[in-house]
Structure 1
Amino acid sequence: MKTKLSDCLRPLLLGALLFTGTVTADVRPLDRVVAIVDNDVIMHSQLQQRLNEVQQTIAKRGAALPPEHVLSQQVLERLIIENIQLQIGERSGIRIGDEELNGAMASIAQRNGMSLAQFQAALARDGLSYEEARDQVRREMIISRVRQRRVAERIQVTDQEVQNFLASDLGKLQLSEEFHLANILIPLPDGSSSETIQAAERQAREVHRQLRQGADFAQLAITRSASETALEGGDMGWRKAAQLPAPFDSMISSLRPGDITEPLRAPGGFIILKLLDKRGGGTLVREEVHVRHILIKPSEIRSLDESRRLAERLHQRLQAGEDFATLAKRFSEDPGSALNGGDLNWIDPNALVPEFRAVMANTPAGQLSKPFQSPFGWHVLEVLGRRATDSSAQFREQQALTALRNRKYDEELQTWLRQIRDEAYVEVKL
């Protein structure tokens, strides 16, 4: 796990002289200010700590270290920029509460495959305290939020820019379909005789026959293929169609994951491809569900158990034939749907909380669910219909919008960082 824990705001009192009676303790070196940044300062101890971290990172990469005075200037400049952003965050009232910070720490631990206790132990092994880690994560969250407010809101992408990007060669390349492929190669030396070619083709067709009968592709690749990826089970990774030799480039998009091609002659021999997976481009079919519900929320005057009993009574009334919309308008406490008779219209299941999504998935069209609980309270739902929606064009436009925003964000961020650096009062005392 790679963790950067620069502590650019932690006050260090390394210059204190300690006295006990008339006996003077050891004198420790005084910390000193290396830069004044608006209303704050950067201490030499902070610079040294970050400098050590950067030097360790460069050394781990096996790269040569630049002269220390050059590296110190670069690190100090980074600390100055961070300090300016933190002060902007403080003036803007950006705060990261303990509950939000605890959630972020738990998420970091989970992404690294650890429990929170294991994460704390890993930090300790690296000589870092958990409190230092929390402090650094808090600062990084503040800086991220400052950038979102000050930079992201300045970015505008027009519909025309999106369409131009989709029509460009760069856009087509970035958004085209990708294929996760594996291959088996039966080799043919240059200048092979007709007999050698026929023998190689027979061998390739025998391998293909075994695959069609259920043989494991990866095992056959290891034992029969001459490809450089044979020992990886033939796994070629992700490729775009334009990266494949003819005729595979034109036929690959028609395959479904799990399909294999016939043995085809290509430079180097006969090749069999297997499509492991595909992503991007093409048709994106998304299921949508037409659903309505009644939500009963617990409150100060109604306990969770009382909410459940009310949901059960409403379920009985619906089963007895009472009108769903009428009961929803009267009892449902979902402000977004109650006035519409509980109707959520056509909705993407992924937009719903897991508890609601699971019950909805197991409820046939035209039927009621039993009362169930979600983080919002107790529900009764009715599935009115299901449909498959082709959202390929919408998805590609969203991809193009994201790509353009990311490109503009990088450009705008650098401009903004230069601007705030120029506008800040900075006095370097290094």
Structure 2
Amino acid sequence: MTRKIFSNCLASLAVMAVAATPIAAQDAAEEADPLGLPSNITILKNDNPNVRTATAIVNGHVVTGTDVDQRLALLLAANRNEPSAEELQQLRMQVLRNLIDETLQIQAAEAQEIEVSQADIDQTYARVAAQNFGQETAAMDEYLRSVGSSPASLKRQIQGEMAWQRILGRNVTPFVNVSEEEVNELLQRLEQARGTEEYRLGEIYLSANAENKQAVFQNAQRIMEQLRQGGNFVGYARQFSEASTAAVGGDLGFVRLAQLPSEMATVAREMQPGQLVGPIEIPGGFTIMYLIDKRQVLTADPRDAVLSLKQISIDFAPGTTEEQATARVETFTQGVQTMRGCGDAENVAAGIGANVVTNDQIRARALPEQLQALVLNLQVGQTTPPFGSIEEGVRVLMLCGRDDPRVEGGPTFDQLMDQLTDERVGKRAQRYLRDLRNDAYIEYN
């Protein structure tokens, strides 16, 4: 997959020489020309402000400042916080290198007569629009323009991704072999690991060597700070990560600690879901880790139980005092305790001025973490303790049904075969792109 690296954008300045005009001639000149411009002008540089100069030229293809601005706008749209001037400059450098890699991938496909037709691009663009804006591509067009990007910028990114996948499909994937013995051995080890913990990790990997190690580390720290301030991990992984998982937002899927580099395994063992850690130095560079979830191998996770719940709640009028709220919560709690199961909830709620909302298809893991264990320990007809505040209202959850998850048989032979193949294709893809960079002629402005 594409490795994403930063570069800088420089602007050029024009100099104009203006000849001095004798004072006696100025009065007549001002009548004809209110700006007082001299009659004879020497142009030192053809610097038309309406023409955007190239930020980089990649094997003859121009990457302009506009290209960088519009792709950067896509990244910033997914970021909740306004980056500082220094962080914004680093993001621009990163986006420029992304665009250079993208251009190299498209050029490699064209050189090998691997076609990515406009119809293919438009079809993928329409599918993205359908997923995010219904069936209206016009709605996505308008959104992209509103954030400072453009449909053309996103379509160029789609073209690059499709070109790269087709190159790999021709030149890499057919030559990657995974034997049946390897898959069977992995299945055996998986069965032996039944009941041990698996970790679903997100990663942002940045490669480093002895020369750029400190600069890469500082860049990883800046990314980490943006993520702590609310930056979208998936978006940052897609833009910055140099691992093969960048295309899927850095998602490694569920892995066991033994499958990770020792540096990552040591950290992951102590992490809790939702926790972000990094940068961590590992062989070849640095990584930022995000623990999405964890589970036990080949064991049903109680959090996958599908629940039928009733939410019973009360709200407080503006100006309600703490004393008044306490009294009402006491009445509410006593009323809930009198409920004779889920069928009685609406009647009792009406008598105490409470509201009832029913949800018959909610997974336990979708609840806030503090409530998951409480709800999973309930019997049908029982409720959680009251929770909330004067500002948010007070509520309880009543369990009205539960479908426990079935024990999964684990991944199939074919699924493991695909997983191993994808891992090897990803490593070869990184080397392929590195060779394209080494052979490229890139001129920076």
TM interval, short-chain normalised: 0.3 to 0.5
Task: Give the structure with higher Rg (CA).
Answer: 1
Higher relative contact order (CA 8 A, sep 6+): 2
TM-score where L is the length of structure 1: 0.44
